[in-house]
Amino acid sequence: MKPRHECAVFGIKSDSDVFDKIYFGLYSMQHRGQESAGIATFSDKIDVHREMGLVSEVFKGVYLEGKSGIGHVRYSTTGESGIENAQPLTINYAGGSFAIAHNGNLINSKELRDELEKKGSVFTTTTDTEIIAQLIVQEHLRSGDFMEGLKEAMKQLRGAYCLVILKDEEIIAIRDPWAVHPMVLGKSKDSYVVASESCALDTVDIPLVRDIKPGEILVIGDELKSYSIGTEKISRCMFEYVYFARADSVLDGINVYDVRKNLGRTLHKEAPVTADLTTAVPDSGITTAIGYSRESKIPYGESLMKNRYLGRTFIMPEQKEREVGVKLKLNPIKSEIKGKKIVLADDSIVRGTTVRNLINLLRTAGAKEVHVRISCPPVKHPCFYGIDMQTEEEFIASNKSVKDICKEIGADSLAYTSLEGLIKAIGIPKKNLCLACLTGDYPIKEEQTKLKVE
Ligand code: SF4
């Protein structure tokens, strides 16, 4: 099992209908959330369609008119999984209406919700997104100006958030002052687009212009207007580069594919081994394995064939699962494996069960030795910023040494990239990375002083 991301957001303003572009943009970011999907567009009024399911299922036979719109795919971490929590949310109030979608997690949502309820807000979902929306409503009504309301609301939010808001025909993109998760801006002749990842811009053929800045409120109307509420300690999620983002994305100017290849090269420099074949757990370990292979000159080859058609709803009764095991998902290529010493690369180990099963499979298929190389240092601490890693008990590394984990998963050797190696491979200074799930040092703390406002 892999850690899962919470969401992806997409927003576009164009000279023509935007529904198709939002659809394809979300399709390309499906890896960031597979539970629900939604699109809201504006033409005279806001129209929205959201359902549980994959993008390809949710929008069958659906078309929404409008030259501006936002979209969202979701995997729930905060708030239960259910249609009422699917996004975008639409809000109608005395000051008007807007639609909003969110990627990330707040760490002060309980305090904010209690405070809002005291002031009369009524909640219909259990998401952070509705808390943000209600905060915007209250601050708008208090100040009498939507933009002022947005700024005031942002100053009260603590945590990771990338927001897209559809207000009349304008799109507003917002990134938290710590810039934990990515968000990019693209521009073509007739459109402006914002998205969680640049792969979504590529898909709709809109060139990348820049990243949304930390603490930025970018209003896309007839012209672009950028506001800032100031920045905090920039803390980019290292896991976006290691695993979450698509390898073809460029985040904050850094090519994700290059980072993963660097990690493979680093792994070989830090933990060389004599072997006949470098191979990967598909798909998460492939780029790292390529980097390892290029550095070590140990040829790269496939050893496990993945069944890519099992689908999201694949659930097997426990007994059957034990009988068929991982073989339904991954089948070893015996001719490639037999009699060989193998380097098996992957991005991370959470509980250790999957990699143990895979090592078993490889040995049964005739592997002489299996040396596991993991591109992310041991994950030991929960994430509070929008990644589904909630408790320390989930992680095999939280109470076991590398030697013990190696024994437990049945590998001939096990090595993780060092923290220094990881930082160098990403190419962002340590002080600007969130490494909290590795080190326990959380960049956004409850007791931290309020934002310094510009
Ligand atoms: S704790 Fe880990 S997964 Fe969560 S934002 Fe920080 S680096 Fe990313």
Q: What pLDDT digit, counting tens, does each position of 329-375 carry?
A: 889 999 999 999 999 999 999 889 889 999 999 999 999 999 999 99
pLDDT single digits (tens) 297-318:
999 999 999 887 776 544 555 5
Counting ligand 1 atoms within 8 A of each CB, the residue from 241, 385, 422, 444 with the most, and so the one to mutate, is 385
Atom of ligand 1 nearest to the CA of 160: 5
Is the CB–ligand 1 distance for residue 300 below 6 Å? Answer: no
pLDDT single digits (tens) 196-211:
999 999 999 999 999 9
The closest residue, in CA terms, to atom 2 on ligand 1 is 437
Residues in the chain: 454
Q: Nearest-CA neighbor of 126 among 145, 113, 107, 138?
A: 113
Cα–ligand 1 centroid distance for 438 (angstroms) = 8
Is the CB–ligand 1 distance for residue 245 below 6 Å? Answer: no
Backbone angles phi, psi at 140, to 5 degrees: -65, -50
Banded model confidence at residue 434, pLDDT cuts 50, 70, 90: very high
Q: Is the pLDDT of residue 450 over 70?
A: no
**Radius of gyration for the alpha carbons in the chain, expressed in angstroms and rounded:** 23
Atom of ligand 1 nearest to the CA of 235: 6
Cα–ligand 1 centroid distance for 300 (angstroms) = 30
Cα–ligand 1 centroid distance for 339 (angstroms) = 39
Cα–ligand 1 centroid distance for 436 (angstroms) = 6
Which pLDDT value is given to residue 133?
Answer: 97
Mapped onto helix, strand or coil, the DSSP state of residue 237 is strand
Is 237 designated active site?
Answer: no
Atom of ligand 1 nearest to the CA of 438: 2
Choose the CATH number for 7-232 among 3.40.50.410, 2.40.160.20, 3.40.50.150, 3.60.20.10: 3.60.20.10
What percentage of the chain exceeds 70 in pLDDT? 92
Counting ligand 1 atoms within 8 A of each CB, the residue from 4, 5, 77, 180 with the most, and so the one to mutate, is 180
Is the CB–ligand 1 distance for residue 385 below 6 Å? Answer: yes
Cα–ligand 1 centroid distance for 239 (angstroms) = 6
Q: Indicate where the chain has its CATH 3.60.20.10 domain(s).
A: 7-232
Q: Which residue has the higher pLDDT, 12 or 391?
A: 12
Q: In whole angstroms, how far apart are CA 37 and each of 9, 21, 30, 124? A: 10, 14, 9, 18
Choose the CATH number for 255-427 among 3.40.50.2020, 2.40.30.10, 3.40.50.2300, 3.90.650.10: 3.40.50.2020
Is the CB–ligand 1 distance for residue 229 below 6 Å? Answer: no
pTM of the predicted model as reported, rounded to 2 decimal places: 0.92
Banded model confidence at residue 449, pLDDT cuts 50, 70, 90: very low
Lowest-confidence segment of 190-194, 269-273, 441-445 by average pLDDT: 441-445
Is the CB–ligand 1 distance for residue 437 below 6 Å? Answer: yes
Q: Is the pLDDT of residue 102 over 70?
A: yes
Q: Is 118 exposed, middle or buried (0-12, 13-18, 19+ CB in 10 A)?
A: exposed
Is the CB–ligand 1 distance for residue 238 below 6 Å? Answer: yes
Backbone angles phi, psi at 123, to 5 degrees: -100, 140
Give the largest Cα separation in the chain, rounded.
73
Cα–ligand 1 centroid distance for 440 (angstroms) = 10
Is the CB–ligand 1 distance for residue 436 below 6 Å? Answer: yes
Q: Is the pLDDT of residue 452 over 50?
A: no
Which pLDDT value is given to residue 250?
Answer: 97
Q: Indicate where the chain has its CATH 3.40.50.2020 domain(s).
A: 255-427
Q: Are strands 208-211 and 184-187 parallel, antiparallel or unpaired?
A: antiparallel
Neighbours of 171 (CB within 10 A): 25
Q: Which residue has the higher pLDDT, 323 or 227?
A: 227
* Tokens of residue 415, six digits: 């090595």
Is the CB–ligand 1 distance for residue 247 below 6 Å? Answer: no
Banded model confidence at residue 77, pLDDT cuts 50, 70, 90: low
Residue 378: asked if its preceding bond is cis (omega within 30°), the reply is no
Cα–ligand 1 centroid distance for 10 (angstroms) = 22
Is the CB–ligand 1 distance for residue 387 below 6 Å? Answer: yes
Cα–ligand 1 centroid distance for 31 (angstroms) = 17
DSSP H or E segment with residue 171:
strand 170-175
Which pLDDT value is given to residue 454?
Answer: 30
The closest residue, in CA terms, to atom 5 on ligand 1 is 237
Q: Is the pLDDT of residue 25 over 60?
A: yes
The closest residue, in CA terms, to atom 8 on ligand 1 is 237
